[in-house]
Structure 1
């Protein structure tokens, strides 16, 4: 009986553990050819990104890099803001920025940043990036690539 109680308490505490405030998932779509001998997860991601693109030109506009951001911040009252800063191969040291804002009552969310189409083909691939979560003018958490300075 003690063992059962110990297992139940451990499971309860593990389920109550706080989540990471910021998780970044990256994916790159390099070509439009769907190879059914590929890993099913990679194939599924490629099919999801190409879904709805009818012609070859539309599919080519989907090539590039995608960053999915999952955030968690229990504070409320001011809008949450996700800021994506990045440098591309053809733009030198210039830092580009994209921003997403969420409702003040939101405590969790998911958003996606994409460098695709002409931005990807002319600007080049993303070499360094930084994604940060802000609320009330204060940085809550951030993730960055190895090359970000």
Structure 2
């Protein structure tokens, strides 16, 4: 579960939460999942799951990074210690 709170930033555009990751079977290929929220939703949570065929074919997640954007502006980010 990913929780975010960007109320301390001026937000004039919709919120976009981006989950970037690498899986064991994808090598250096960076994959990503995106959730979009209205600009009025400046605090919330979402969940990204790697399951089914994606997990069976490509394996476990090796590293990850989560970014919260408002339009083109990066508001917040967090990542695993293996992320490069």
Q: Same fold (TM over 0.5)?
A: yes
Shift of residue 71, structure 1, vs aligned partner: 0.7
Aligned to 1:127: 62
Secondary structure of the 2:46 match is: strand
Number of residues paired by the alignment?
82
**Aligned-CA RMSD value:** 0.9
Partner Cα distance (1:90, 1:131) in 2: 20
Partner Cα distance (1:123, 1:108) in 2: 32
Larger relative helix fraction: 1
Shift of residue 127, structure 1, vs aligned partner: 0.3
Is the contact made by 1:76 and 1:106 (CA closer than 8 Å) also made in structure 2?
no
Matched, 1:92 2:47: no
Alignment TM-score, normalising by the size of structure 1:
0.53
Q: Which 4+ stretches in 1 moved above 4 angstroms?
A: none
Alignment TM-score, normalising by the size of structure 2:
0.92
- Where structure 2 has 5 or more consecutive residues not aligned to the other structure, the ranges are none
Larger relative strand fraction: 2
- Where structure 1 has 5 or more consecutive residues not aligned to the other structure, the ranges are 1-67
User: Whose relative contact order is higher, 1 or 2, with alpha carbons under 8 Å and at least 6 apart?
Assistant: 2
For residues 110 and 83 of structure 1, do their structure 2 counterparts lie closer, same or farther at Cα, with a shift above 3 Å needed?
same
